[in-house]
């Protein structure tokens, strides 16, 4: 029996979510947010307008880390993306404390890591591990809540 992780692709535009085909990224009217959850390990987040960010961030692992391939994605700059996402949040919400929101968002974003440096701490109690650290769809739900967005139906 093999275990398959969660996959889902969603676009938020005009105040509502659309479910898309896996990996599908159609042209979206701004402001928009696109999330693509891959195998419960990576959530790609594409946001527009990008503001001071690049418009692309990751939750869980980055493609470079997950696929152990430096060409799988551009290098990440979590401070830049937290700034861009906080600016995006200010645009779509009634929030005004962009600095506090940037700090909150920063806690969700994935950085490039060396896969060889991952170690399982066998002394760690698996019951004590937060589901958001294991299943990126849980972290994605929390991230969307931090952005004051509703959840796509499949993530509720």
The percent of residues in the chain predicted with pLDDT above 70, rounded, is: 85
Q: Which residues, in sequence order, are bridge partners of residue 145?
A: none
Q: How confident is the model at residue 1 (pLDDT cuts 50, 70, 90)?
A: very low
Matching residue, tokens 């996402």: 85
Question: pLDDT tens, 64-121?
Answer: 999 999 999 999 999 999 999 999 999 999 888 999 999 999 999 999 998 666 555 5
Q: Residue 143 in 3-state DSSP? A: helix
Q: Which pLDDT score is estimated for 132?
A: 54
Specify burial of residue 147 (Cβ count, 10 A radius: 0-12, 13-18, 19+): buried
What is the distance between the alpha carbons of residues 49 and 29, in angstroms, rounded to a whole number?
Answer: 10
Count Cα atoms within 13 angstroms, Cβ side, for 37. 22
Model-wide pTM > 0.75: yes
């Amino acid at each position: 029996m093999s275990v398959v992780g969660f996959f889902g692709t969603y676009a938020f535009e005009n105040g509502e979510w659309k479910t898309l085909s896996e990996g599908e990224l159609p042209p979206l009217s701004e402001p928009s947010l696109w999330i693509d959850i891959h195998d419960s390990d990576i959530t790609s987040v594409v946001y527009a307008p990008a503001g001071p960010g690049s418009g692309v961030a990751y939750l869980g692992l980055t493609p470079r880390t997950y696929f152990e391939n430096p060409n799988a994605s551009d290098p990440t700059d979590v401070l830049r993306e937290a700034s861009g996402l906080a600016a995006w949040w200010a645009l779509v919400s009634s929030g005004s404390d962009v600095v506090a929101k940037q700090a909150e968002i920063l806690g969700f974003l994935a950085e490039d890591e060396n896969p060889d440096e991952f170690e399982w701490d066998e002394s760690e109690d698996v019951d004590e591990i937060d589901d958001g650290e294991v299943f990126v769809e849980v972290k994605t739900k929390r991230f969307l809540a931090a952005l004051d967005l509703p959840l796509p139906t499949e993530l509720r």
